[in-house]
Structure formats: C-alpha cells, structure tokens
A = this chain, B = another copy of it.
C-alpha cells in the first residue's frame, strides 16, 4: 500500500517510550511516497483510573478502520491484575480475531545469552491467540469462603486449531529447515491435546516436505535451554505459547529484543504488533527501556503490510546495531531509537 493508516496504543509504563522509537524508525524507513498517518489511542491504566473504561465500544469501532495497530505495553500495578489485560489487550486480540500470535526467536551476534556455548537459535513460535485458557471462560463460587471453587476452562475447537496449524505449516514450508514441532501436553490434557495432534497429523499430509515432531510442554522447556537449535517452527496453544515465548526471549538475549505480531491473516480486522515484554513500571521514565523489541515488531508490521524490503532493512539495522553494542556503555531508549532510525535511512 502507498499509505499506512496506523493506530498507536502506547499504553502503560515504558510503552509510550518504546513506541516513540518504533514510530521514529518506521518514519525513517518508509519511502517518501508512502504516506504514514498515525492516530494515538489513549488506553491503559491512566484512562481506567480516570473513567473506569478499558476499551469502550466506540474506540473499538474506530480501531477497526486502521490498517494495523502498534501497541507498547499494557499493565500497571495500581490496577487489579487482569483488568487491563483482559479488558484491553486480550479483548483486542479476541475481537480482532488475532489467531496467529507470531513470535520469532533469534540469537543475534554479540547479544548476551544466559546459555553457555551460545547455541545457534533461530526459530519462530506460532502461538494460537484466540482460544485455550485465554477465552475468559472461568468463574468461582462461594468466593472468599473455605468452600470456594474456582474453575478455568480451556476451549479448543477444530476450527480454531486447524487455521493456526495451517498457518504454521505454511511458515515451516517457507523456511529452509522445514520443520514443525507441535508442543502440547497430550498425556494429561487428552481431549485438547488429541485434537491438536490429530489436526497436525492430518494437515501434515498436505505438506510432505515439512517434517513434524511433537514435544510435551515440560520437555520443550528443557530443549529450549539445552538444545534450542533443534527448533524451527513451533506451533502451540495460547498458554503454552505464552510460557515458551518468554523463555525463548530469555535465551535469545532477553525480552528487550522479543517482537510479536497478533495477526489476523484474513485481513478482516487490523493486525496488532507489540513487543513481548510488559510495561516494566520499575524502569518507566528512566530511559533504560530497550526499544529494540518494538522496532523489531515494526519490522513484522511492515512485512505484514507488504513492505518486505523495508522490513528487512529494519531487521538488518537491528542486527548491525546489536553487533556494535557495548554492554559497558549502555545507551538510552532514545539513543537506541536514533541510532536505528539513522541506519534505516542511511
């Protein structure tokens, strides 16, 4: 497209700071003839404190009209746990049917990893984004009494599983190693697990060039630290994907670098791009936040909107910037953003 109509949700904590850098790099990388229009949405803790609103219907309607959404971070210790997450972030993912939650994991050169031996890490997690334990299908009775029962229901459908599994096979087929690993817990969650396993087995027949295997989620965490190079594409449910991608971020240099896309591949609703990290209220305003995860999320956004060359330029800039980083001389959020913007426009 020769124009991008972008919704921006800076959110809480370090969200606004990192989003500023993401926009800086986005502006710098776009060719002169691509018009970027941004609309900022004031959503998050401040708004909730002021009005009690998390995501009013009118805002949701306005958001629908954009080409894509760039989100910083949502969540604040002054708001009861779950209110903003479920009322805002997850609501966006669900209403806009972001069924592919795409989270690449790559260990860049010169980037610190807690793992000895610096294994080669380059895989992508395709996390289901609209089902599982995230559906909000839970409740409690006799709450606060010694007889309380609190249930949470994981909902999984053939419809929901198949579409994300197909997306994962497509991605695996397009990668050099062509390997897909299903992660679940089929030996305990037999109903949901077998639905996932049956779906992968069936779709696999259409992709003879893709090799598949299976790991229980507990075993997958072991391989993520002992043999992360074994992974190429991982497909998994919403909660397991949440857990695995934080761990994956940790072994590839930290959540300061982990990007994500909440993608609706049909295009029926805008996709949303955000760093995997949270709002980190402890460092908000200190200039210590690393905007790289947001910048890499901007690359995913560009790719999603068809600007492949620009996406690649952003990723190359990040790679080059990381290669020259000096842990003894940390730069501010702003300085990193400036450096990346300079590289992509250079």
- Please give the residue numbers on chain A whose beta carbons come within 8 Å of chain B beta carbons, in ascending order: 75, 81-82, 85-86, 90, 113-117, 133-134, 138-140, 142-159, 162, 185-195, 197-198, 217-219, 221-222, 225-226, 239, 242-243, 245-247, 249-251, 254-255
Contact = CB atoms under 8 A, between A and B. Distances in A.
Contacts of A193: 81-82
Given A217-B243, A221-B250, A226-B254, 18 more contacts: A81-B186, A85-B188, A86-B187, A86-B188, A134-B188, A140-B191, A146-B162, A149-B157, A150-B195, A151-B153, A151-B191, A152-B153, A153-B154, A154-B154, A218-B245, A221-B243, A222-B246, A225-B225
In this complex, the member of A81, A143, A145, A198 whose beta carbon has the largest number of chain B beta carbons within 10 angstroms is A81
Given A186-B82, A221-B250, A133 B150 contact: no
B243 A243 contact: yes
A225 B253 CA distance: 11
Contact of A250 (B90, B226, B249): B226
Contacts of A146: 158-159, 162
Contacts of A245: 218
Contact of A189 (B116, B133, B149): B133
A147 B158 contact: yes
8 contacts: A75-B187, A81-B186, A81-B193, A82-B188, A116-B116, A138-B191, A140-B195, A226-B250
A191 B150 contact: yes
Contacts of A150: 156-157, 191-192, 194-195
A85 B225 CA distance: 25
Contacts of A115: 114-116, 225
Given A188-B134, A225-B250, A155 B149 contact: yes
Contacts of A145: 158
A115 B112 CA distance: 12
Given A116-B116, A148-B157, A153-B152, A138 B189 contact: yes
Nearest to A134: B188
A158 B276 CA distance: 33
A243 B221 CA distance: 7
A247 B225 contact: yes
A266 to B, nearest CB: 17
Contacts of A243: 217-218, 221, 243
A221 B339 CA distance: 31
B247 A85 contact: no
A73 B218 CA distance: 16
Nearest to A242: B218
Contact of A251 (B81, B140, B148, B225): B225
